[in-house]
Amino acid sequence: MTSIAIRPLHSGDSMEALTALLHASYASLAAQGWNFTAVDQGVEVTRQRLADAQAFVAEADGRLVGTIAVRGPKPAGEVYIADAPPSLYMTAGTAILSQLGVHPEWRGKGLAERLIDAAEGWAQSQGHQQIALDTAEPAAALRARYARRGYAEVGAVQWQGKTYRSVLMCKPLAATQPETTFP
């Protein structure tokens, strides 16, 4: 069995390979008529979406097979893929989850859950009190995945140029507890 490592994205990782991974990961969503940005974004857009973010990757045999990005709240005036971000994404203490993708050949192995765990862990370690995301309203399976992890639907947004309306989902992060030691 191949060992799969979840690790932070390194500066030496190929943005071309990461972009190709996103395209492969989102192809099934595109086939349903949902034009998520990651369906066909170029390498420069991948770079832009990772600016100010912490990305994690799943690596198997030197190949990127999964990815996720997480960042803190967006400052007022920052554009989010050609749109003003919803107020949730600018709320202090809110981390934003994006670009979760697992190559189709590697699905069903728990990689998405491990990637989300890494992103949520990072957000918590940075002191964020909640983590938010958006996904296509008609994507029932994706919404159910996040709901099982404790994300609740808290609003909706219509991104410019998208063929679907998105739901905003948010999950509180447990406060980091100080380590207790006993004499």
Distance CA 94, CA 14 (A): 29
CA max distance for the chain: 61
Exposed/middle/buried for 56, CB within 10 Å: 0-12, 13-18, 19+? buried
CATH of residue 33: 3.40.630.30
163 assigned to some structural domain: no
Q: Is this structure's pTM higher than 0.85?
A: yes
Q: How many domains does the chain have?
A: 1
**What distance in Å separates the CA atoms of residue 124 and residue 111, rounded to the nearest whole number?**
20
Q: What percent of the chain is predicted at pLDDT more than 70?
A: 93
Structural domain that includes position 40? 4-129
Residue predicted with more confidence, 183 or 30? 30
User: For residue 178, is it within any domain?
Assistant: no
pLDDT digits (tens, 9 = 90+) for 66-90: 999 999 998 877 776 667 788 899 9
Write down the residue that tokens 């967006």 correspond to: 74
Asked if the structure places residue 146 within a domain, the reply is no
Q: Are 54 and 71 contacting, i.e. CB atoms less than 8 angstroms apart? A: yes
